[in-house]
Amino acid sequence: MFHRPLILAAMLLPAGVALADTSMPFALDWRFEGPAAPYFVAVDQGLFAAEGLSVEVTAGEGSLDAIPKVATGAFPVGFADLNSLIRFLDQNPGAPVIAAMMVYDKPAFAVIGRKSLGVEAPADLMGKVLGAPPPDGAWAQFPIFAAENDLDMDQITIEPVGFPTREPMLAEGKVAAVTGFSFTSFLNTKRLGVDPEDISVILMADHGVDLYGNAVIVNTDFAAANPEAVTGFLRAVAGGWKATAADPEAAIQALSSRNPGMDAALELERLTLAMETNVMTDWVMENGMGNIDPDRLASAVEQIKLTYEFQNEPDTALYFSDAWLPQDGSLSMQ
């Protein structure tokens, strides 16, 4: 009898009128560039709508940008660097935010060098000049990379550079290598006229750095109240990436309607590099998208300690949860 008024109210709805979709605005980490295309594919193909969700994708201003937006509840979901989230949660204990789906299984942190200037492998940095913007995410991880590869930091000349001058200095030979995101710095250097065969991309994840990259993060208060919506969101995200892998050109078309002034060929190349290097890794192809290796995350936390002093005892259960990942096989990228 308690539920009868609700049932009667539903019966009185006019034919064809549906209940409103759950609103789940999504805060990206950066602008509408190639790697953002899968989310617009999910919108355009009705993958979010099929889950009863209304999703608006919003651009961001960096890997830190989405974390406070989600932690404060301004956005229920966002896209952010897991390592930045770990530090945020250490500095803001109890903040209602956690990673719920790994997307960049390999982070894009890299050293980009010129082969003609003698940089092809980590050891080649010894005695060379490395350009590094002080706020750069890859530069922040460089001490971990150096420790894992037995590099003597005293034998590497660090040249602080600005983001706008980083790749031009590499192209002009004023530095032998730079730190940056693999797909961004590679493409920027190539666009400046450097032969791609002369550009070396040393991905830190391939040289001992166990850190993860960007993940879908969720407000835990929202997730507790709307667990099925969060699972549906993650299912749609996986579907967007799978559809993008099947037809990257169509994905770029979905993106171009939101960023009409972009260079479509450049963004297709950026998307392809990110997808092949950072998202569709061997681990993901074998295990599916979204989850993590707990041992690797524990190792990553130990590596973070090399560059960050925790105020509280680290607890990986605070940083990532697989509780909302769909269990219906939709995470398979095969």
Tokens describing residue 197: 């065969």
Is 81 in the same domain as 45?
yes
Residue type, 235: R
| Main-chain dihedrals φ then ψ at residue 247, nearest 5 degrees | -150, 75
Q: Please report, for residues 117, 195, 302, the alpha-carbon distance to residue 174 in angstroms, rounded to integers and kept in the order given.
A: 10, 17, 35
The last residue of one of the domains, among 146, 179, 206, is 206
What pLDDT is stored for residue 5 in this prediction? Answer: 37
Q: Which residues partner with 101 through β-bridges?
A: 216
Is 42 in the same domain as 175?
no
Q: Considering the domain boundaries, does residue 4 fall inside one?
A: no
Q: Please report, for residues 153, 239, 309, the alpha-carbon distance to residue 157 in angstroms, rounded to integers and kept in the order given.
A: 8, 45, 25
Is 163 in the same domain as 301?
no
HSE of 130 in the Cβ direction (CA atoms, 13 Å)? 27
The last residue of one of the domains, among 191, 206, 221, is 206
What pLDDT is stored for residue 13 in this prediction? Answer: 41
Query: What is the Cα–Cα distance from 96 to 115, expressed in whole angstroms?
Result: 46
Is 199 in the same domain as 233?
no
Domain of 31, CATH number, reads 3.40.190.10
The last residue of one of the domains, among 206, 221, 237, is 206
Q: Which residues partner with 109 through β-bridges?
A: 181
What pLDDT is stored for residue 16 in this prediction? Answer: 40
Strands 199-203 and 109-114: antiparallel
Is 27 in the same domain as 97?
yes
Is 101 in the same domain as 122?
no
First CA to last CA distance, the chain: 48
Is 177 in the same domain as 263?
no
Q: Please report, for residues 57, 212, 236, 267, the alpha-carbon distance to residue 246 in angstroms, rounded to integers and kept in the order given.
A: 22, 25, 15, 16
Q: In what helix (H) or strand (E) does residue 252 lie, and over which residues does it extend?
A: helix 248-256
What pLDDT is stored for residue 20 in this prediction? Answer: 62
Give the count of domains, the chain: 2
Is 54 in the same domain as 181?
no
Is 191 in the same domain as 215?
no
Is 142 in the same domain as 233?
no
Q: Please report, for residues 153, 255, 257, 267, the alpha-carbon distance to residue 261 in angstroms, rounded to integers and kept in the order given.
A: 42, 11, 9, 11
Q: Which domain holds residue 35?
A: 23-106+211-318
Percentage of residues of the chain with pLDDT beyond 70 = 94
Q: Considering the domain boundaries, does residue 3 fall inside one?
A: no
Q: Considering the domain boundaries, does residue 124 fall inside one?
A: yes
**Nearby residues of 179 by Cβ (< 8 Å), 6 or more positions away:** 109, 110, 111, 112, 130, 131, 132, 133, 136, 138, 139, 142
Is 299 in the same domain as 225?
yes
Sign of the CA dihedral 58, 59, 61, 63? positive
Fill in the DSSP letter of residue 179. E
What pLDDT is stored for residue 192 in this prediction? Answer: 96
What pLDDT is stored for residue 64 in this prediction? Answer: 78
Residue range 297-319, pLDDT digits in tens:
999 999 999 989 999 999 999 99
Q: Considering the domain boundaries, does residue 60 fall inside one?
A: yes
Q: Please report, for residues 47, 216, 305, 333, the alpha-carbon distance to residue 70 in angstroms, rounded to integers and kept in the order given.
A: 22, 10, 25, 27
Is 99 in the same domain as 243?
yes
Q: Considering the domain boundaries, does residue 1 fall inside one?
A: no
What pLDDT is stored for residue 137 in this prediction? Answer: 83
Q: Which segments in the chain show pLDDT lower than 70?
A: 1-20
Q: Considering the domain boundaries, does residue 18 fall inside one?
A: no
Q: Please report, for residues 82, 101, 247, 327, the alpha-carbon distance to residue 331 in angstroms, rounded to integers and kept in the order given.
A: 20, 10, 18, 8
Q: Considering the domain boundaries, does residue 146 fall inside one?
A: yes
Residue range 5-53, pLDDT digits in tens:
333 333 344 444 344 689 999 999 988 999 999 999 999 999 999 999 9
